[in-house]
Amino acid sequence: MDKFILIDGNSIIYRAFFAMPPLTNSKGLHTNAVYGFTTMLLRLLEEHKPTHVMVAFDAGKVTFRHEGYQEYKGGREKTPPELSEQFPLLKELLQGFGIAQFELAGFEADDIIGTLTKRADEAGRQVLVVSGDKDMLQLASENVHIGLTRKGVTDIELYDPAQIKERYGLTPLQIIDLKGLMGDASDNIPGIPGVGEKTALKLLHQFGSVEEVLNGTGELKGKMKEKIEAHAEDARMSKQLATIHREVPLEQTWEDMQFDGLKEELAGPALAKLEFKSLLERLSFRASVVSEQEAVPAAAVESSIATEETISELFSSLESIDVLHVETHGDNPHQAKLIGLAVGSAGIYTFLSPELLQSDAAAPVREWLGNADQPKRGYDLHRVDLALHAHGIEFAGASFDVQLAAYLLDPTESNQTISGLTTKYGLPSLVEDDSVMGKGAKYRVPEADILGDFLCRKAAAVAAIIPLQEQALESNEMNALFHELEMPLSRILADMEKQGIKANTADLQALGSEFEENISRLMAEIYKLSGTEFNLNSPKQLGEILFDKLGLPVVKKTKTGYSTDAEVLEKLAPYNDVVKHILQYRQLAKLQSTYVEGLLKEISDKDGKVHTFYRQTIAATGRLSSQFPNLQNIPIRMEEGRKIRKVFVPSEPGWSILAADYSQIELRVLAHISDDERLKEAFVQDMDIHTKTASDVFGVKPEEVDGDMRRSAKAVNFGIVYGISDYGLSQNLHITRKEAAQFIDQYFEVFQGVRRYMDDIVKEARQDGYVKTLLERRRYLPEINASNFNLRSFAERTAMNTPIQGTAADIIKLAMVQMDEALRERKLKSRMLLQVHDELVFEVPADELELMKELVPSVMEKALELSVPLKAEVSYGENWYEAK
């Protein structure tokens, strides 16, 4: 028998706040109300063993109650900030507990619960409602029992209709009348002045309801009669206000509240983050977080500052050292400054200044850093590798990167800093970088004693974090992903970045002059046609010219004013010739500023190359991203922009640029994970997937598919990968939503396996709170159960897209690791230079060209075996443009 618990979140957290003594965590956040709430919740879970749990929250400042009575809840003290700051903490904790949270704009928590209990009555479900508000008694029935907090929060008194009768002599519905007569100071509901609980009960026992009391005043006498007659209207309104609304348009169902028990890997960190150590212990959750911290308290970090004299002591023990922290400054690791180095193990760390590190005396330390056989654990070792390299020091042997592990454990966590991680794992907190060094223009490297101590503490924190992450990786089955894919890849990326790709400065400048001419010409023409000179780069000024001065129709608005993006301009083009010129100007201005001027700045004086930096811990799906400059968005779609690719050339004479890209990797991945027979068949036969889709969806032979049909099918395929919606597709194809919906329906009719996948993956996300790729990469989707339609829909599309995009990312990463091995094994001179999501770019000497033309696609295609073949297409030429 299912057992449901519905909790009035707002009521309980208020109760808890006032019932608990103040409590703050190490960051100074108040946590007492969350603590009280949690103890109550754990008790409920233990005592009632519910199968379904839900916590309802008030949403929106104005509820329907305010419409009739503006003073509703007026006079109530504003929620103290010490409590407000705890709402997000509570919600995050509940997320970690896997407990559903419902809220609905314009309604209060008790209305949501009222609606659900009505449904429960209709369906005969056993429900326990928990609140601190006596009003809830009006919901009681045979099926619905009410638990009210007594004194604190953990002590809960249960009521069913019989117990209400016994206590008050009233039926549940009469509880509303009770409040109508006596009012409620906390909600600013007036009732009848002078009528308290005693009088109200007496009146109700005599008359039965507010209405009958008001009708029967003849039977009363004296002061009482006067007061009731004078405040009849107040009583009626009060009753109305006290009535819980039981028909809110709630979308969620009972299944959305399913509770599968606390999962240590989710609930543990959530509790640890709040520093609820006693609760962790009570749940006997692995000291994941508690005992480790006692093993390495920050206070016990022994730090010293190495000098030329003491360094010999250090290198006598270097072999046993496996933790280091290298502090750098500057976003671009190729140009980062070295601030200092801390190395050590087991709580004893030594600081080396950059000067010392470069001294003759430190030669053994540098040898140690470059020795691949000496394992090293630390934070952001990819950046460390590049920064050291830029200062002539080689780095090898990275065995555990804390930042990379943190990314795999939660790729959307925005605070991946060491300090953020100590907080997350309930370790002794670390001072923030900013407060030691300052930030931005205020950045200052502190004196050696302070800096040394700080960096040693960071190293110690890294050492303390690692065992916790190892445990988490283990329980998430991510060991292979971490040790065999991401860690090796990190070194490969560093190699690619150090290698860089040659860019021809003169050609780029020539291209710039060509663009410049056209830009000037277009500017002059635009100023002439519009009759004004203005800053064309300012969307604001452009908007004023187009819409105010020239009176063109407004198609779309941004939150700050008129929208002037390309989509809008396309629509305006027929009205005025100036618009076409603006579109062309925009295109060239983009090429000029980002790709000519921007790229020129990034070409190194030293080697004439561009050294990008791949970020391995940013994209939520597992993709890489590229910075300084971004080499993953070099133009290709438009010929003008594509010319930029001509400047990327081999770094040695006679070599070629060779590029290989996966064909339709995302749809192939989809075919595999959805196991859709039709989609798989298409790839087994190596058909043109968009034509095939069109022929299936429109029910015509492949040779009868025309350009429009193929274009539509292509858009549908894209939509499918992105997590389709009729609206999105309609925008893309410039058709109505209805037509788009029809396309989608027809698509799913044909590709039923895909439909099943889309349904299942969303269910899975709801259940687990995350989705996974083939290689067990995870992405948490905390908003999958949100009551806000937009948030929830977004999470649903993400649930559909992430396994596809993420598995494709897994595959090309595998290919990169295997390709690196293949090049080494064969002792080839060819070098892997770039990755562009589904494409790998190499530079290849002439005598290896024939081999590489076979080897690269072969490795890519075999990177991971799926139920459909993977296909990689290779091309080469004198530059990146020709390798198409």
Partner DNA sequence: TATATCACG
Partner DNA sequence: ACGTACGTGATATAT
Binding residues for DNA restricted to 512-551, rule: CB under 7 A: 535, 537-541
Q: Which helix (H) or strand (E) holds 89?
A: helix 86-97
Applying CB under 7 A, the span of 114-122, 517-525, 558-566, 871-879 interacting with DNA comes to 558-566
∠ CA 459-462-464, rounded to 5°: 115
**CB of 466 or CB of 716, closer to DNA:** 716
Shortest distance in whole angstroms from residue 636 CB to DNA: 4
Question: Smallest distance from the beta carbon of 302 to DNA, in angstroms?
Answer: 36
Q: Which of 219, 708, 727, 763 binds DNA (CB under 7 A)?
A: 727
Applying CB under 7 A, the span of 65-73, 298-306, 363-371, 621-629 interacting with DNA comes to 621-629
Min separation Cβ 637 and DNA, Å: 3
Among residues 475 and 732, whose Cβ is nearest to DNA? 732
Q: Judged by CB under 7 A, does residue 565 bind DNA? A: yes
Contact pick of 154, 358, 627, 767 for DNA (by CB under 7 A) = 627
Is 625 one of the binding residues for DNA (CB under 7 A)? yes
760 binds DNA, rule: CB under 7 A: no
Task: For residue 537, count CB atoms less than 10 angstroms from its CB and return exposed for 0-12, middle for 13-18, buried for 19 or more.
Answer: exposed
Element (H, E) at 368: helix 363-370
User: Does the footprint of DNA cover residue 619 (CB under 7 A)?
Assistant: yes
Task: Closer to DNA by CB, 1 or 441: give it.
Answer: 441
Q: How far is the CB of 723 from DNA (least distance, A)?
A: 5
Between residues 180 and 543, which has the closer beta carbon with respect to DNA? 543
Q: Determine, following the binding rule CB under 7 A, whether residue 801 of this chain makes contact with DNA.
A: yes
805 binding DNA? (CB under 7 A): yes
Q: Which of 252, 626, 773, 807 binds DNA (CB under 7 A)?
A: 626
Q: Which stretch binds DNA (CB under 7 A): 91-99, 171-179, 787-795, 816-824?
A: 787-795
CA-closest candidate to residue 805, choices 838, 764, 783, 835? 838
Q: What is the Cα 271 distance to its own chain's centre?
A: 20
The CA distance from 661 to 837, in Å, is 9
Question: Taking CB under 7 A as the rule, does residue 638 contact DNA?
Answer: yes
Q: What is the CA radius of gyration of the chain?
A: 33
Distance CA 665, CA 672 (A): 11
Largest CA distance in the chain: 113
Beta carbon of residue 695, minimum distance to DNA (angstroms, whole number): 19
**Contact between 563 and DNA per CB under 7 A:** yes
- The yes or no reply on residue 725 touching DNA (CB under 7 A) is yes
In 124-218, which residue ranges form alpha helices assigned H by DSSP? 161-168, 174-182, 197-207, 210-215
Asked if 307 interacts with DNA (CB under 7 A), we say no
- Which residue stretches of 648-788 are H helix? 665-674, 677-684, 689-698, 707-722, 726-733, 737-750, 752-768
At 769, the amino acid letter reads G
Does position 734 interact with DNA (CB under 7 A)? The reply is: no
Q: How far is the CB of 659 from DNA (least distance, A)?
A: 10
Considering the rule CB under 7 A, would residue 141 count as an interface residue with DNA? no
Q: Does the protein bind DNA through residue 560 (CB under 7 A)? A: yes
**Closer residue to DNA, CB minimum distance, 597 or 873:** 597
Nearer to DNA, 685 or 790 (CB): 790
Chosen residue from 327, 726, 810, 843 binding DNA by CB under 7 A: 726
Q: Is 635 in the site for DNA (CB under 7 A)?
A: yes
Cα–Cα distance for residue pair 700/680, rounded to 1 Å: 19
Tokens encoding 226: 């006067």
Among 122-130, 257-265, 460-468, 789-797, the segment contacting DNA (CB under 7 A) = 789-797
Say whether residue 790 binds DNA (CB under 7 A): yes
Indicate whether 633 belongs to the interface with DNA (CB under 7 A).
Answer: yes
Strands (E), 536-686: 609-610, 613-615, 625-627, 648-649, 656-662
**To the nearest whole angstrom, how small is the minimum distance from the Cβ of residue 440 to DNA?**
6
Among 266, 822, 836, 849, binds DNA (CB under 7 A): 836
In terms of CB distance, is 638 or 851 closer to DNA?
A: 638
How is residue 440 annotated by DSSP?
A: G
Identity of the residue, 92 or 839, whose beta carbon is nearer to DNA in the bound complex: 839
- The first and second tokens of residue 443, run together, are 């950045």
Among 838, 843, 848, 861, binds DNA (CB under 7 A): 838
Alpha carbons 158 and 150: distance in angstroms, whole number: 10
Is 303 among the residues that bind DNA (CB under 7 A)?
Answer: no
Size of the site for DNA (CB under 7 A): 77
Given the rule CB under 7 A, which of 156-164, 510-518, 718-726, 758-766 is the region that contacts DNA?
A: 718-726
List binders of DNA among 87-116 (CB under 7 A): none
**Please, which residue, 252 or 469, has the CB nearer to DNA?**
252
Nearer to DNA, 368 or 547 (CB): 547
Structure tokens at 57: 């929250």
Question: H or E segment at 540?
Answer: helix 539-543
Closer residue to DNA, CB minimum distance, 136 or 545: 545
In angstroms, the Cα distances linking 33 to 23, 87, 186 are 9, 9, 19
Helix, strand counts (H, E) of the chain: 40, 23
Which residue among 345, 359, 504, 732 contacts DNA (CB under 7 A)?
732
The pair of structure tokens assigned to 872 is 């990689």
In this complex, which beta carbon is closest to DNA, that of residue 117 or of residue 730? 730
* Site membership for DNA, residue 687 (CB under 7 A): no
Here's the x/- map for DNA, 408-447, by CB under 7 A: it reads as --------------------------------x-------
Of the candidates 184, 181, 180, 130, which has an alpha carbon nearest to the alpha carbon of residue 159? 130
CB of 84 to DNA, least distance (A): 20
Q: How far is the CB of 568 from DNA (least distance, A)?
A: 7
Q: How far is CA 570 from CA 500, 566, 696, in A?
A: 38, 6, 32
Residue 695 backbone dihedrals phi, psi, to 5 degrees: -65, -40
- One character per residue 368-407, x = contact with DNA (rule: CB under 7 A): ----------------------------------------
Instruction: Concatenate the DSSP letters of all residues of 265-280 into one string.
Output: HHHHHHHHHHT-HHHH
**Of 47-55, 148-156, 566-574, 750-758, which segment contacts DNA by CB under 7 A?**
566-574
Q: Say if residue 629 is preceded by a cis peptide, omega within 30 of 0.
A: yes
Q: Which of 147, 183, 269, 641 binds DNA (CB under 7 A)?
A: 641
Long-range pairs for 751-755: beta carbons < 8 A, 24 or more residues apart: 751/674, 751/676, 751/678, 751/679, 751/696, 752/676, 753/674, 753/675, 753/676, 753/677, 753/678, 753/679, 754/670, 754/674, 754/676, 754/679, 754/720
Q: What share of the chain is helix, strand, coil (3-state, %, to 5)?
A: 55, 15, 30
Of 578-617, binders to DNA (CB under 7 A) are 586-587, 590-591, 593-594, 597-598, 601, 615
- Quick one: 624 or 868, whose CB is closer to DNA? 624
Residues 223-282 that bind DNA (CB under 7 A): 249, 251
- The window from 118-126, 142-150, 226-234, 725-733 that contacts DNA (CB under 7 A) reads 725-733
- End-to-end alpha-carbon separation of the chain, Å? 63
Residue 122 CB contacts under 8 Å (≥ 6 apart), including other chains: none
Dig out the tokens for 426 from the structure.
Answer: 């309930």
Which one of the spans 259-267, 556-564, 683-691, 853-861 is the region binding DNA (CB under 7 A)?
556-564
| Location of structure tokens 């073949």 | 869
